[in-house]
Every structure is written in structure tokens, then in C-alpha cells.
Amino acid sequence: MSYEIAITWDDDAGVWCAVCDEIPLALESNSFDALIGKVKIVAYEILELNGRLAENVKLCFRTAHWENIA
């Protein structure tokens, strides 16, 4: 089973945001690496609590970072 995690930068809040409706999961952190670590821990816990943790669960991280240059 695989889950796609959408990661975006919230310029107004100054944090990285991770969202996955399938798990469900919504997290934020000011560090990209810290966010990835949080997602792995929290996704595991949520899936386990909901009885949906199977072998070979994969997380696919999709990242977008938009910047104004003009």
C-alpha cells in the first residue's frame, strides 16, 4: 500500500505543510527534514490505530515550493 503526501511551503506562516487525506494527516514544521520525520512517525501511528497498517507501506512525498521573483 502506498500513500502520497503533499508537501508545500506556506510563505505566510513560514512553515512546510504535509497533507494526506487518505491517512488522514496534516502536519507542519519550519524544517523540511523535521517534517519528513514527523510524517513517518505520525502516519505509522494513525494507520496502526485505524487497523490499516499493512506490510510494505510506502510514503511518496510530493513537494512544491513556489517563489515570487518579480
**Is the CA virtual torsion 54, 7, 21, 40 positive or negative?**
positive
CATH 3.30.70.1520 fits 2-64, yes or no: no
**Neighbouring C-beta atoms of residue 63, cutoff 10 Å:** 13
All cell numbers assigned to 36: 519528513
The length of the chain, given as a count of residues: 70
Record the pTM: 0.87
CA-to-CA distance for 20 and 5, rounded, in angstroms?
Answer: 5
Give me the residue spans of the domains in the chain.
2-64
Using the predicted structure, report yes or no on whether residue 56 has a pLDDT greater than 80: yes
Q: What's the pLDDT tens digit per position in 1-34?
A: 999 999 999 989 999 999 999 999 999 999 999 9
Residue with the larger pLDDT of the pair 7 and 55: 7
